[in-house]
Every structure is written in C-alpha cells, then in structure tokens.
Amino acid sequence: MRFLNRSRELGYFHRLMEVEPNSIVFCVGPRSCGKSTLIRRVVEEKAKEAGFDRRYAVYWFDFRGLCATSTSNPISVFFERGRGRRREGGSRDLPLFRVEGGVFEGFVVDPRVLERLQEGDLNPFRFLLEKLRYNVRRGRVNLVVLDEIQMLQNAYLSRGSPLRQFVEELLNLLVLMTKVEHIAHCWVVSNNALFVEDLFMELHMDRCFNYYLLDHLEKGEALRLLSELGFENRECMMIWDVVGGDLWAWNEVLSGVQVGLPLPTVLSDLQKGALGVLRRKMLSLKVEDPKLYDKVRAILQGFVFVDRAPLEAPFMEWGGVRWLVENDVLFYNPVEGVVSFHSPLTLSAARNLVAPS
C-alpha cells in the first residue's frame, strides 16, 4: 500500500531534525499503525535533499525478529561484523539498507573492532559516543533510531542478564547524547509504552524523554482515503465498521479484494482470524496460570460496553493489564493514561470470546 497522508506527523519530525536534540522521543502507538513507516519516510524524504550524506548520519537499530534472551551476547545484539565503504577519518560503515538519494548507516564494525568489543578491550558506549562526536565535528546531524525496542523486554526483565545491564547502559548513553551533550537525536519506536515507562522510571530518567502518539486513522480521513482507493461509499462504511483505520487490516482487505474475494468474505475472515489468535492466547494462559487467566478474562468483560478505559477503572487489575499489553491485545496510551485495544478486530474478538453462551 502507498504511504497514506500523515502530513502533520511528517512535518513534526522534519522540524524536530532541525532543532537541537534535548530529549529522547518515544513514538508510541497501536500495533501496525505505521510508526516505523512514518520514521522511515521522514529519513527517506531527508535523503532526497542535496548533500544528505554530508549533513546527516542516520543509525537504525531494528529489533524485529530479535530473539534476545538472558544468554544473548550484548555485543552481538547491537554490533555486526562487516566491511563497508571507507569514510572520512578511516572508519568503515556498512549500510543497513539503501534509499533513493542516500544511505542509512548502522554500527557495523570491522572484524578487528568487533573482536575488541567482544573481549572487553573496547568500551562499546565510548565507541558509539566518539563516533557521534566525530560526526558533529564534521558538521553532521546524528539520528539514532531504536525500532521495536519492546523486543528486548524478556531479556531486560531477566535479573542478572548481561543484556539487561547492556540495555541500562545504552539508555544512559541515549540520555547523555540528547539531554546532556545534545549531539544526536534519538527516536525510539514501540507499541508497548508500559515497558518504556518501566525502563525509565526504574532508572530515574522520567524527565529525559517525551512521547509522540501515533494512532490509527480517524474516521473522516479513513473514509476519504478508502474512497480514493476505489471503494464505494457503502464499502467504505463496511470496512470502517469492521477494521476502522487499521492500516495493516486495510492491506489485508485490499489483497483479498484484488484476488477476487467478495468484500464481506474478506472482512469475515479477518474477524475469524483475530478471534482465533485471541482464543489461542487465552487457552495457553489458562493452562499456564489459571488465576491470571481469570483476571484477564474479567478485564475483557469490562470492555463489553466500553472501547477504552483509564488504568484506574475498577475492572483494570494491574497484573492482567500487563499481560494483555505485553501480548499485543491492549494498547496503553501514555499520553492520556487510558487503555484500549490495538484494533477494532481485537476488540470484536474479545467481546465475542467473553460473551455469554
């Protein structure tokens, strides 16, 4: 699907790149609402500007698919062996991926440097910090993106994990390069704001970051864009009633319609799929922790007549809320302090699951 609108959000991040870095920006929002796509689009548009390579240095850590466990080697998580093009100053950087007009760089290091990092002869954070300082001296604007940071959650919560200590030191580095030295922008992308708050509250860094909330498309904008995609008014309302402004679901709808499936069939299949996923999660929880299962089910029952609720709502038991957020059922909106479902599909599935027989 083509990039849809988001002109206001694009403008915000473009302006952010032009001011002095002063805090970490957490871009949070429901699953698949376009957070990573938005940030990538900002950099792609910057990359089309003349002199992009000379003016900007973009470092992108994407934690999707990362199986980070308590036994993971922290260095291997954040650094990769490789040889790239030689840059000014003799360092080598291997591009993570190319875009028209420029290159996104990652911290891919020479094998000899990686060996020193792994053996502890070279401090990884000092290495990263010096790289950023060097760029500033050369007149470049640094941007560090940590995409889907919640993938580190299991490893971080494991007491004694080497990765836990590494993540804590990494966060201290982010604060140092933004709030203290102002040498790099840092944008962190996540759909789990509870994990983000846990990280920074535990380390007493609650004044070192700001949230930027990105949500699914609102109704008026969604209906207009669906019409532009070729759907009739009646079809636009059908899609909105089932999936709302969920762009991932839109992709599924478009794919189904393009291969010749009737729209009602596509929408029905999406609802059945969402119900099946939630049912499997709940059945697994019932086996693993029956008491927590009862708490989670009670929370879902509380959403039978409401779409969102504050954390202080009577039925919002904290342990159950955490499980639902960590398992991509509920989304915690830290800006408003409310909890809602990641998508209308998940809300519909929850209501069907807990409805009286």
Per-residue pLDDT reduced to its tens digit, 299-321 = 999 999 999 999 999 999 999 99
Does 260 lie in the same domain as 208? no
pLDDT digits (tens, 9 = 90+) for 157-202: 666 666 677 778 888 889 999 999 999 999 999 888 888 888 777 7
Among 197, 213, 229, where does a domain finish?
Answer: 213
Task: Please indicate, yes or no, if residue 83 is contained in any of the structural domains.
Answer: yes
Among 192, 213, 234, where does a domain finish?
Answer: 213
Among 189, 213, 237, where does a domain finish?
Answer: 213
Q: Which residues of the chain have a pLDDT value below 50?
A: 68-71, 84-105
Does 232 lie in the same domain as 208? no
Task: Please indicate, yes or no, if residue 69 is contained in any of the structural domains.
Answer: yes
Does 333 lie in the same domain as 276? yes
Q: What is the domain range of residue 326?
A: 221-354
Does 99 lie in the same domain as 42? yes
Q: How many domains, the chain? A: 2
Residue 282 tokens, joined: 């709940």
CATH number, domain with residue 174: 3.40.50.300
Does 267 lie in the same domain as 198? no
Q: Residue 76's pLDDT is what?
A: 62
Residue 240 tokens, joined: 């909105």
Does 170 lie in the same domain as 240? no
pTM of the model: 0.83
Burial-class residue 100 by CB neighbours within 10 Å (0-12, 13-18, 19+). Answer: exposed
Q: Residue 200's pLDDT is what?
A: 79
Q: List, in sequence order, the alpha helices (H) in the chain.
A: 7-17, 35-47, 52-55, 74-78, 111-119, 124-137, 153-157, 162-175, 193-202, 219-228, 233-243, 247-258, 263-288, 290-302, 318-326, 344-354
Does 339 lie in the same domain as 197? no
Give buried/exposed letters for 299-319 (b at 16+ CB in 10 A, else e).
Answer: bbbbbeeeeebeeebeebbee
138: alpha, beta or left, given left = phi > 0 and alpha = psi -120 to 50? alpha
Q: Residue 160's pLDDT is what?
A: 65
Task: Please indicate, yes or no, if residue 281 is contained in any of the structural domains.
Answer: yes
pLDDT digits (tens, 9 = 90+) for 274-294: 999 999 999 999 999 999 999
Does 192 lie in the same domain as 139? yes
Task: Please indicate, yes or no, if residue 28 is contained in any of the structural domains.
Answer: yes
Q: Residue 70's pLDDT is what?
A: 45
What lies within 8 Å, CB to CB, of 234 at 6+ separation is none
Q: Residue 74's pLDDT is what?
A: 59
Does 239 lie in the same domain as 183? no
- The three-point CA angle 58-141-76 to 5° equals 35
CATH number, domain with residue 326: 1.10.10.10
Does 149 lie in the same domain as 20? yes
Q: Residue 121's pLDDT is what?
A: 79
Task: Please indicate, yes or no, if residue 2 is contained in any of the structural domains.
Answer: no
Task: Please indicate, yes or no, if residue 19 is contained in any of the structural domains.
Answer: yes
Task: Please indicate, yes or no, if residue 335 is contained in any of the structural domains.
Answer: yes
24 within 8 A of 188, measured Cβ to Cβ:
yes
Q: List, in sequence order, the alpha helices (H) in 121-218.
A: 124-137, 153-157, 162-175, 193-202
Task: Please indicate, yes or no, if residue 1 is contained in any of the structural domains.
Answer: no
Does 248 lie in the same domain as 122? no
Does 314 lie in the same domain as 269? yes
